[in-house]
Structure formats: C-alpha cells, structure tokens
Amino acid sequence: VGKPVFSSDRYYDEPPVGVAMGLAWTELGGQTLYIECTSVPELKSEAGTLRCTGQMGDVMKESSTIAYTYAKRFLRDADPQNEFLQRTSIHMHIPEGATPKDGPSAGITMTCAILSLAMNKPLRNNVSMTGELTLTGKVLPIGGVKEKTIAAKRSMITEIVFPKANQKDWDELPSYIKDGVTPHFVDTFQDVYKVAFP
Amino acid sequence: VGKPVFSSDRYYDEPPVGVAMGLAWTELGGQTLYIECTSVPELKSEAGTLRCTGQMGDVMKESSTIAYTYAKRFLRDADPQNEFLQRTSIHMHIPEGATPKDGPSAGITMTCAILSLAMNKPLRNNVSMTGELTLTGKVLPIGGVKEKTIAAKRSMITEIVFPKANQKDWDELPSYIKDGVTPHFVDTFQDVYKVAFP
Amino acid sequence: VGKPVFSSDRYYDEPPVGVAMGLAWTELGGQTLYIECTSVPELKSEAGTLRCTGQMGDVMKESSTIAYTYAKRFLRDADPQNEFLQRTSIHMHIPEGATPKDGPSAGITMTCAILSLAMNKPLRNNVSMTGELTLTGKVLPIGGVKEKTIAAKRSMITEIVFPKANQKDWDELPSYIKDGVTPHFVDTFQDVYKVAFP
C-alpha cells in the first residue's frame, strides 16, 4: 500500500519467445504485467507439467491450469505434429516475484505465452491483452477497462485485446484516453490468436 | 456483494460437446452455470484422471468425483467398447473462474458434461438441470426450485430437470413463474439421460 | 440447525449390491444413512484402492480404512478365489453429499457394503446396523441406541444389529419403542455377517 503493486516498466523492447504482456487492475490503478514461460531442461520427460511462480493466488493458479489445458488442445488442432507441450515441462512466472497477484483476467495472456513458447514464435510487439478464458475457449469480460487502457498507454502499447462483452465499457471512455490505442474485441481465443501473433 | 455471483449470460447458443448447463442457488437468487469438460492431450495415458478448476468448494469437488465414477460405470454399461474415460484425462471447469461455488446439486449436470465429452455428443439445447447424484445413480432433492426456475427462464431455457422429490416445490410455484418451462422430474440418472441427450 | 441432518427417506426399496444401511446419531435424533460402494472401471488395476466421498470426518475416514482392510482379510478366508478387492478400486460414498459425518459407528456397515460389492450379493432387506469395528473383527459399543431405534422404525426397518455391549441400553428402552424391531446383539463381525447376508 502506497507504492504501485505492479511495476509499469517495460522489461522488453520486443517480446521474447514465451512472453506475453497482460494488463492488471489494482487498487492503485492499472498495471502492465509480463507472463514469462520457459521450458525446463529434463533428461527424460514422459509427460509435460506446468509449474508456476510469482505469488499467484488460487484463482490465478487455476487460470494457469486452464490456459495450459487449452493451449495443449489448441496446438493439437493447429499443428498436430507439435508435441512440445506433451513432452516438455513448462515454468510460468509473473514478475515481480514479491507482488501477490490474483484473478482470472490473465487467462488469454497466459495461453498466448504458452503457445509462443511451444511454437517458438514471439508475439506481435506493442500488443497487450486482458480476458478470462474458459476451457472451451470463450473469452469472458474483465474489470478495469479504463485503468488498464491508461496503464497500457503508459507502457507504449498501441493495441489492446479486450473481451467482446467489455466493448460497452470502452465505448464510454473519453477520447483522450482512447487516443492512440486500437482495441480488439474478442469472443473466443481464436480471435485473440489472430491479433496476438504476427 | 451487490452484483450477481454468477453471470446470467449464455455463453453458447448451442451447447458444445462436453458442456452442460446447470442451475445454482445463491444468496442473490438463482443463476445458470456451465460445466465445461475437455480432454487433456497427453502422449501416453495409462489411466484417466479428473482435474477441476473454477473455485469449487469441498462438497462440489466430491460431487465431481462421484460424477466421474458414475459416468465411467454408466458408459461401461451403455457402450462397453468406449474406453475414453479409462484412457483420457479430463479437465472440468466451471466459469466464472473467480466465483467460489459449492454444494452437491451440480452432480447430474457434471455427469452429463462428462458423458457428452466421452460419447462426443452434445446435449439437447435449451435444457438445464439440477440434482444431487449418489454413487448408485439416485437423484436427491435440491434447494431453490423457485429461484432456479426464474434464472433458467432468464437464460431462455425451456426444459428443466428436477429431482422427483422436488415436485411438491414445483407444484407450489405460481403459474406466472412456471409458464414457458417444461419440468422433468427424475428419480435416477437413467431418467436424466433420456431428457438431456437427443 | 433446525432441519434433520440426515434424510430419513429410504432411497431403495431393496438394497442394491454394494449398499448397506447404517444408523447415525445426531444432535437432532437418530437418522438412517446409506453406505454406497461401487467399483471404478479402470483399464489396468495393479492394486485395489479405496476412495471416499460424503464429507466424512477424520474418524470416519479411518473407519473406512479399517473396514477395507478387514473386508479384504475376511474375503480371503471366506472365499480365497475371490480377488475382487485386490484387483478393483472402490469408491465409497455416503449421501447426502453436503452433510458432514463423523464417528466410528459405521464400521460394520461399511464392511458389509464392501463385502456386498465384492461378493456381488445384496444384503438382506429391512436390516440396519451400527457398531464400531476393530481390525481383528471385534464390535465395540456405540451411542444413541434409543434414537437409532426410532430412526430405523421410521424407515420401516425391522431388524437392527447392535454391539453386544449395548444390550443393556436396549433392555432399558420402553416397549413402545422396541415393538416391531428385532435386535441382534453381536460380538464379532462374523456375527454381523450371519445376520446381514441372506
């Protein structure tokens, strides 16, 4: 209390493989946050597993599980040859490590980070996103559209992925907040994928 | 506090395979909720397992276990060739991810969602259900018949599956609540199955 | 508080295989309860395991473990050819799912339910039972003889198995409570078995 819960610094000029930028909503306003995924070198891996760090709360941990299951299914359909997620264990981290984080709205961001790693393909630059993911790929609305938009602009983000059900919140924002940002309203993760990857 | 605990929006015009619509009873009235089941792609799976997300409480987690055991036995009898549930791991989620949920009354809904996935067959559209399931397939009564009926109608549901022991509660509802909904009173899961699947 | 903790309704006219009726003692009086056991279909099962649902407390969970061990030993002696309990995983549930239950007095009932399933033989109808089981098969006394007798009669039970050490409690009951019920006082599980199975 008294200092920003999330850092607003950009760590990366261009997102590396396995990293996606999300938007969080705190009592002190919006914040950008990075979801980082890497593979864990192992001698033999019979089955891929996911471990998480970054002081995630219970709801956010469940979000990571949903993202992981969904990413496996998405990749199986999009590229059946790619067995990365079945063979490799993944570590997901959300800096800063000392900051407790929670909530379901990083769902689509986590899924993009996992897929970026599995496909060895970085996300488009200057895109940030927020949205809860269901197990079937529906994107559910989130809170804090205004605060998240301000935070995104502070981090030089020019495109934001929002759930379709949040379009009414966006429409109500004054122009000076919306200026310079292109919103993308998505209904399913398929829509997210088209915006997030080049 | 002050806003509905469950969203009353319908996510799906038609239920996808693995998804069933249930009815919940909260301090704020009734709500529809979706049970979503998907398979988890794995390289080798010696034995099917079930994982759950959606902030389920202890009683609801036990309900999912009962539904899983019952579905395995139901499928073994109905279609002995179908080894899906023995071979495949399942992920069950109940959006919205941040909403704590509990109670045993989603038992029959969970079982339908699992069977829909295992049989690769969607449930009938516009059907919602509520009922506790025992391990032998008996359907036990639930609370909130009135509130659940109102919530179902708000989500354009036209048929509701209720436990037989709740018929007296239905009979006491005023006509303006019952209008437009066909109730089905069930004693065992066999009865549920006949209504829920086409 | 204010409504019966256990339902006094009978779910079954005749007990299915794997189901036994016990008697519980609550602050609000006695209640009948069902112990339900089913096998869990599995592709390969190297070793039988027992899982439990029904909001059992720690003592009751230990009772289920004692019942499981005892049933395995009992069956090995009674029918050495029968390897069901070594080969098959069992799920034990005690409806209603939302009601917390505890105490050791369901020991003999759990054992009968497991044996019924393993021998594929239903218990005698209209028999209910209560008694703590030790690992060697001794049946220890329980509380609530009066309340349990009343509950059993309410559920149309005509024969009750009580621990031998509770005979003095029975003898002190007024005739109008005892009328219509035949008690069986047992010292070991061998005695229970003779009454419970046809």
The minimal CB distance from B55 to the residues A62, A107, A138 is found for A62
Phi and psi for C169 in degrees, rounded to 5?
-65, -40
> Which of B1-15, B86-100, B152-166, C137-151 has the least mean pLDDT?
B1-15
Q: What's the confidence (pLDDT) of residue C46? A: 65
Instruction: State the number of CA atoms in the 13 A half-sphere of C131 facing the CB.
Output: 31
Q: What's the confidence (pLDDT) of residue B46? A: 62
d(CA A174, CA A194): 27
Beta-bridge partners for C186: C163
Q: What's the confidence (pLDDT) of residue C45? A: 67
The dihedral built from the CA positions of residue A8, A14, A15 and A21, taken in this order, carries a sign that is positive
**What SS3 state is found at B138?**
strand
Percent share of chain C, pLDDT over 70: 94
For chain B, the average pLDDT equals 92
DSSP code string of C34-58: EEEEEE---S--SS--EEEES-B-H
The minimal CB distance from B72 to the residues C9, C41, C54 is found for C41
The dihedral built from the CA positions of residue C43, C46, C48 and C52, taken in this order, carries a sign that is negative
Beta-bridge partners for B56: B101
d(CA B88, CA B46): 8
Q: What's the confidence (pLDDT) of residue C3? A: 41
Instruction: Enumerate chain B positions whose Cβ falls within 8 A of a Cβ in A.
Output: 7, 9, 11-12, 16, 18-19, 34, 36-44, 51, 53-55, 91-93, 95-98
DSSP code string of B18-33: TEEEEEEEETTEEEEE
The minimal CB distance from B38 to the residues A69, A132, A165 is found for A69
Residues with Cβ within 8 Å of residue A131, at least 6 apart in sequence: A105, A107, A108, A139, A140, A141, A142, A161, A162, A163, A186, A192
User: Nearest C-alpha of chain A: how many angstroms from B147?
Assistant: 24
For chain A, the average pLDDT equals 92
For chain C, the average pLDDT equals 92
User: For A134, which residue in chain B has the nearest alpha carbon?
Assistant: B95
- Which DSSP helix (H) or strand (E) runs through B92? strand B89-93
The minimal CB distance from B43 to the residues A59, A62, A86 is found for A86
Q: How far is residue C147 from each of residues A79, A164, C34, measured CA to CA in Å? A: 65, 59, 17
Q: What's the confidence (pLDDT) of residue B164? A: 97
Considering the candidates C72, C101, C146, C148, report the single residue annotated as catalytic: C148
Contacts of A58 in chain B (CB under 8 A): 55
**What is the tens place of the pLDDT at every residue in C19-40?**
999 999 887 889 999 999 999 9
User: Nearest C-alpha of chain A: how many angstroms from B81?
Assistant: 24
- Top pLDDT among A142 and C48 is at A142
d(CA A118, CA C23): 56
**What is the tens place of the pLDDT at every residue in C84-102?**
999 999 999 999 999 999 9
Q: What's the confidence (pLDDT) of residue A3? A: 46
Q: What's the confidence (pLDDT) of residue A46? A: 63
Tokens 């069901």 appear where? C84
User: Per-residue pLDDT averaged across A32-54, rounded?
Assistant: 87
A contact test, residue of B3, B19, B43 with most A CBs within 10 A: B43
Q: What's the confidence (pLDDT) of residue B5? A: 41
Q: What's the confidence (pLDDT) of residue C6? A: 43
Is the distance from CB of A53 to CB of A37 less than 8 angstroms? no
Is the distance from CB of B188 to CB of B138 less than 8 angstroms? yes
pLDDT higher than 90, residue B95? yes
d(CA A119, CA A75): 8
ipTM reported for the complex, 2 dp: 0.86
C contact test, residue of B44, B56, B58, B62 with most C CBs within 10 A: B62
**What SS3 state is found at C155?**
coil
d(CA C123, CA A19): 61
pLDDT higher than 70, residue A1? no
Considering the candidates C105, C116, C128, C155, report the single residue annotated as catalytic: C105
Q: How far is residue A138 from each of residues A131, B12, C88, measured CA to CA in Å? A: 10, 9, 39
Among A54, A16, A157, A33, residue whose Cα is nearest residue A106: A33
The amino acid at residue B105 is S
Inter-helix orientation angle B189-196/B107-119, to 10°: 60
- Top pLDDT among A68 and B29 is at A68
User: Per-residue pLDDT averaged across B47-75, rounded?
Assistant: 95
d(CA A108, CA A99): 21
Is the distance from CB of B162 to CB of B145 less than 8 angstroms? yes
d(CA B150, CA B31): 8
Is the distance from CB of A50 to CB of A68 less than 8 angstroms? yes
Residue C26 CB neighbours (<10 A):
16
User: Per-residue pLDDT averaged across B184-197, rounded?
Assistant: 97
d(CA B95, CA A142): 13
d(CA C3, CA C10): 17
d(CA B132, CA B104): 5
User: Nearest C-alpha of chain A: how many angstroms from B54?
Assistant: 7
Chain pair A-B, CB pairs under 8 angstroms: 74
A146 is catalytic: no
Residues of B marked active site are found at 105, 148
Q: Which two tokens stand for residue A77?
A: 């359909």
Percent share of chain A, pLDDT over 70: 94
> Which of A88-97, A113-122, C128-137 has the least mean pLDDT?
A88-97
**What is the tens place of the pLDDT at every residue in A139-195?**
999 999 999 999 999 999 999 999 999 999 999 999 999 999 999 999 999 999 999
Tell if the CB–CB gap between B95 and A63 is shorter than 8 Å.
no
pLDDT higher than 50, residue B83? yes
Tokens 């804090």 appear where? A144
pLDDT higher than 80, residue C11? yes
Q: Please tell me what DSSP assigns to residue B120.
A: T
Q: Which two tokens stand for residue A110?
A: 């986590």
Q: Which two tokens stand for residue B66?
A: 């009962």
pLDDT class of C7 with cuts at 50, 70, 90: very low
- Which DSSP helix (H) or strand (E) runs through C19? strand C19-26
> Which of A34-38, A91-95, C17-21, C40-44 has the least mean pLDDT?
C40-44
Q: What's the confidence (pLDDT) of residue A13? A: 83
Q: How far is residue A108 from each of residues A135, A193, C116, measured CA to CA in Å? A: 11, 9, 50
Length of chain A: 198
